């Protein structure tokens, strides 16, 4: 085993690798950019080396600096995590040339599978079924357009060197192909340094099923069964689970054998994932097509760990150190069901636009580790919950990197139990300071389609009414929770003498405390009324409810509003209140009604940046007439492209930025005058 390794990554995966290394007694070296100087992964390692500016191209993709850092600190091996340099054969070879062990497959295997087009050609020769498409090297736009027409719409354009949904677009009409191709190639070039793409038939109602494989340098290769990663948004995974619902033992064995054959065909060593797109046939069976092989550890590897009782990072380290695989195929077992939810800084109600800001509050469910018994077999505590995270409370989420904050993993004896535990765990997540997808994840988990395992990559779109038009936490419940927090804060300021009491007592009659609150974008005047006998009431407009509040030992408020009783956690930061309860969450703002009345004047119709990022291109020039909804600009943030559309008909008067410029959130991109 190694004495010291360098982790060439950041965020939760760097923290994850460091945790296993620490358990094995292996020292760790972190690398960090300007933006990550105080990041959690830096604190999780024994040493840390600065490798450059905030942009990935100037830090985490600077592999020469990373190799120099490994050599300078005496590291024997480099763990690439996932993303960044994890599937870069040049980096893997450079590590070997520098006398460092690359904790991953050999460069030849990365090269063979790193190009989606080359991998498909290899699999085609091996007889593995492929999705009909064009996988050639010629990327002339006219040729690709003709191939798309031959394949038949809808088609999927995919970055050949890509992953993580980047450089991928579904195209339904021939007239949209050119713009989608250009966008894919820009995104692929920015993320992977390679703008080569392939074009495939878009499988309707596809399921995304992948097989975890592991190989050592002694000629052994096995699979650790499958994961279902069908629930996606913008071709990026949202929920992953193991095993795949409805997967028969025979189909599992068939796909597992195909995945092992694919790994052996390229002389694979280490952890890898063979991905298939599957479609359901008329007889209920599944037909699977090879998509790609990811030559690295996957984001969703914890669900495989949960149902097998194995530590895949430990396996990676042991295999890289020259040890044989710890188990044979016959010794791999499945126990129970696991689901992972990706918690991201994004706004689902605004097209999943990435969000930035500071995690002013970060509360997580209690982490209950997956454990093993004395024989090394899975042993699960009654309510296993695992949190893999890369941020602490007070940390900033920057626009430079991926939007994922953490992964929440739960295990159950069966899928129904895992679902219930996932919903309960998500209800305990409390994040304040920026938009997140936590409430959205709870809605996905609560849909009938997901509960019944009616899965495909369009599930989110199919369930749009339930996911994007769901009723938020009722305003009166949010207001009652804020009232409880205000009353508790006032009580905390009271002294022992009666003159310091702040309960609103009057010799005759009662008293009211007025709060001007904004809940779900609606302005409300909320009155907390205290009667002469001390009883409380809450009034909003002409509605009035009896109110009773009590502080619980865990810091939450026990609130009874009329006939409804609930527990609420409320975090106050200045004039903002974040409310979390089982029925949902809300961000409530207290405002000065006089000042508030004059705000927002003159802002209607401004074309502003919805998030901080870089301007990629403008699709209009000064003097152009545009229509509402017309694409006007493309921005890049968190390694993804986002198109900005015209808010109304008008004439472009002036472009306020140039391609390549950085824009702050809310910055006006261009002047759009009346038509």
Within 10 angstroms of residue 674's Cβ, the number of other Cβ atoms is: 9
Q: What is the mean pLDDT of residues 39-44?
A: 96
**544 Cβ neighbours under 8 A, 6+ residues apart:** 529, 537, 538
| Catalytically annotated residues | 296
* 3-state SS string for 123-156: HHHCCCCECCEECCCCCCHHHHHHHHHHHCCCEE
Instruction: Give the whole-number percent of the chain exceeding pLDDT 90.
Output: 61
**637 Cβ neighbours under 8 A, 6+ residues apart:** 353, 354, 399, 611, 612, 613, 614
Q: Report pLDDT digits (tens) over 558-598.
A: 999 999 999 999 999 989 999 999 999 999 999 877 665 55
In eight-state DSSP terms, residue 664 is: -
The pLDDT-based confidence of 163 (bands split at 50, 70, 90) is low
Q: Is 319's pLDDT higher than 90? A: yes
Closest by alpha carbon to 77, among 17, 37, 32, 36?
A: 17
Q: What is the mean pLDDT of residues 25-35?
A: 97
Q: What is the mean pLDDT of residues 433-443?
A: 94
Burial class (CB in 10 A: 0-12, 13-18, 19+), 393: middle
Q: Report pLDDT digits (tens) over 402-416.
A: 899 999 999 999 999
Q: Is 503's pLDDT higher than 70? A: no
**Cα distance between residue 199 and residue 104, in whole Å:** 29
Q: Judge contact between 437 and 344, C-beta under 8 A.
A: yes
Q: Judge contact between 610 and 632, C-beta under 8 A.
A: no
The pLDDT-based confidence of 382 (bands split at 50, 70, 90) is very low
Q: Are strands 77-79 and 101-102 parallel, antiparallel or unpaired?
A: parallel
Q: What DSSP element (H or E) covers 438?
A: helix 438-445
> What pLDDT was estimated at residue 187?
86
> What pLDDT was estimated at residue 320?
98
Q: Judge contact between 437 and 236, C-beta under 8 A.
A: no
Which range has the top average pLDDT, 29-38, 108-117, 165-174, 659-668?
A: 29-38
Residue 645's DSSP bridge partners are 631
Tell me the pTM.
0.82
**385 Cβ neighbours under 8 A, 6+ residues apart:** 365, 366, 367, 368, 408, 409, 410, 421, 425
Closest by alpha carbon to 58, among 32, 82, 92, 40?
A: 32
Q: What is the mean pLDDT of residues 453-474?
A: 90
Q: Report pLDDT digits (tens) over 488-498.
A: 988 877 655 65
- Give the chain's domains with CATH numbers: 4-103 (3.40.50.20), 132-201 (3.30.1490.20), 207-468 (3.30.470.20), 475-596 (3.30.700.30), 607-673 (2.40.50.100)
Look over the chain and give the mean of its residue pLDDT values, rounded to a whole number.
Answer: 89
Give SS3 for 671. Answer: strand
**383 or 330, which is more confident:** 330
Q: Is 6's pLDDT higher than 80? A: yes
Q: Which residues of 61-96 are buried (b: 16+ CB within 10 A; e: fewer)?
A: bbbebbbebbeebebbbbbbbbbbbbbbbebbbbbe
Q: Is 381's pLDDT higher than 80? A: no
Q: Is 523's pLDDT higher than 70? A: yes
Q: Report pLDDT digits (tens) over 616-627.
A: 889 899 989 998
> What pLDDT was estimated at residue 371?
53
Instruction: Give the whole-number percent of the chain exceeding pLDDT 70.
Output: 91
The pLDDT-based confidence of 128 (bands split at 50, 70, 90) is confident
Range in 30-34, 119-123, 545-549 with the lowest mean pLDDT: 119-123
**Cα distance between residue 234 and residue 398, in whole Å:** 21
Residue 471's region, left for phi above 0, alpha for psi from -120 to 50, else beta, is: beta
Q: In what order do the strands lie in the sheet with 625-626?
A: 607-608, 668-673, 650-655, 625-626
> What pLDDT was estimated at residue 639?
66
**Cα distance between residue 631 and residue 648, in whole Å:** 11
> What pLDDT was estimated at residue 499?
57
Closest by alpha carbon to 196, among 272, 264, 144?
A: 144
558 phi and psi, to 5 degrees? -90, 115
> What pLDDT was estimated at residue 507?
57
> What pLDDT was estimated at residue 380?
45
Q: Report pLDDT digits (tens) over 183-234.
A: 999 888 877 778 889 898 888 788 999 999 999 999 999 999 999 999 999 8
């Amino acid at each position: 085993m190694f004495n010291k390794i360098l982790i060439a990554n950041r965020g939760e995966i760097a923290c994850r690798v460091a945790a296993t290394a620490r358990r094995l007694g292996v020292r760790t070296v972190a690398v960090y950019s300007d933006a990550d100087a105080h990041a959690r992964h830096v604190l999780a390692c024994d040493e840390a080396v600065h490798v450059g500016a905030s942009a990935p191209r100037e830090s985490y993709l600077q592999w020469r600096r990373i190799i120099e850092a490994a050599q300078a600190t005496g590291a024997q091996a480099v763990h690439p995590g996932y993303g960044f340099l994890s599937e870069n054969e040049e980096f893997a070879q450079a590590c070997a040339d520098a006398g460092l062990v690359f904790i991953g497959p050999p460069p030849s295997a990365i090269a063979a599978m790193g190009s989606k087009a080359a991998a498909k050609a290899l699999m085609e020769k091996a007889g593995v079924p492929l999705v009909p498409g064009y996988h050639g090297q010629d990327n002339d736009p006219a040729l690709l357009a003709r191939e798309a027409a031959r394949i038949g719409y809808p088609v999927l354009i995919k970055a050949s060197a890509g992953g993580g949904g980047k450089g991928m677009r579904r195209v339904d009409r021939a007239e949209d192909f050119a713009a989608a191709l250009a966008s894919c190639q820009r995104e692929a070039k920015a993320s992977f340094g390679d703008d080569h793409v392939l074009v495939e038939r878009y499988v309707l109602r596809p399921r995304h099923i992948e097989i975890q494989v592991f190989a050592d340098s002694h000629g052994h290769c096995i699979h650790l069964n499958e994961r279902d990663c069908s629930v996606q948004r913008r071709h990026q995974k949202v929920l992953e689970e193991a095993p795949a619902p409805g997967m028969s033992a025979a189909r599992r064995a068939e796909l597992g054998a195909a995945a092992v054959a694919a790994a052996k065909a390229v002389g694979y060593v280490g952890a890898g994932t063979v991905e298939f797109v599957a479609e359901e046939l008329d007889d209920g069976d599944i037909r699977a097509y090879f998509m790609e092989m990811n030559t690295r550890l996957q984001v969703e590897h914890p669900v495989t760990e949960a149902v097998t009782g194995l530590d895949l990072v430990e396996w990676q380290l042991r295999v890289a150190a020259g040890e044989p695989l710890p188990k044979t195929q016959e010794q791999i077992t499945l126990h129970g069901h696991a689901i992972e939810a990706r918690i991201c800084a994004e706004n689902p109600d605004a097209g999943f636009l990435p969000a930035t800001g500071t995690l002013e509050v970060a509360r997580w469910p209690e982490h209950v580790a997956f454990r093993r018994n004395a024989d090394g077999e899975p042993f699960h505590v009654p309510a296993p919950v695992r949190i893999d995270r890369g941020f602490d409370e007070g940390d900033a989420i920057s626009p430079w990197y991926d939007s994922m904050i953490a992964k929440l993993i739960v295990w159950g004896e069966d899928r129904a139990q895992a679902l219930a535990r996932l919903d309960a765990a998500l209800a305990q997540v409390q994040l304040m300071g920026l938009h997140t997808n936590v409430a959205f994840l709870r809605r996905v988990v609560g849909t009938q389609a997901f509960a019944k395992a009616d899965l495909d990559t369009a599930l989110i779109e199919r369930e749009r009414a339930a996911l994007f038009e769901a009723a938020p936490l009722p305003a009166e419940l949010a207001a009652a929770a804020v009232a409880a927090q205000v009353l508790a804060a006032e009580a905390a300021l009271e002294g022992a003498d009666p003159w310091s009491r702040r309960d609103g007592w009057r010799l005759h009659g009662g008293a009211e405390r007025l709060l001007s609150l904004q809940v779900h974008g609606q302005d409300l005047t909320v009155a907390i009324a205290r009667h002469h006998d001390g009883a409380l009431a809450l009034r909003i407009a002409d509605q009035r409810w009896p109110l009773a509040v009590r502080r619980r030992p865990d810091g939450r408020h026990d609130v009874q509003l009329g006939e409804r009783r609930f527990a609420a956690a409320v975090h106050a930061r200045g004039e903002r209140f974040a409310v979390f309860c089982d029925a949902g969450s809300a961000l409530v703002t207290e405002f000065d009604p006089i000042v508030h009345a004059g705000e927002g004047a003159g802002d209607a119709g401004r074309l502003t940046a919805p998030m901080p990022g870089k301007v990629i291109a403008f699709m209009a020039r000064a003097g152009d007439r545009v229509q509402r909804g017309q694409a006007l600009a493309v921005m890049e943030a968190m390694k993804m492209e986002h198109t900005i559309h015209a808010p109304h008909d008008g004439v472009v008067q002036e472009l306020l930025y140039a391609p390549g410029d950085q824009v702050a959130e809310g910055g006006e991109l261009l002047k759009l005058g009346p038509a």
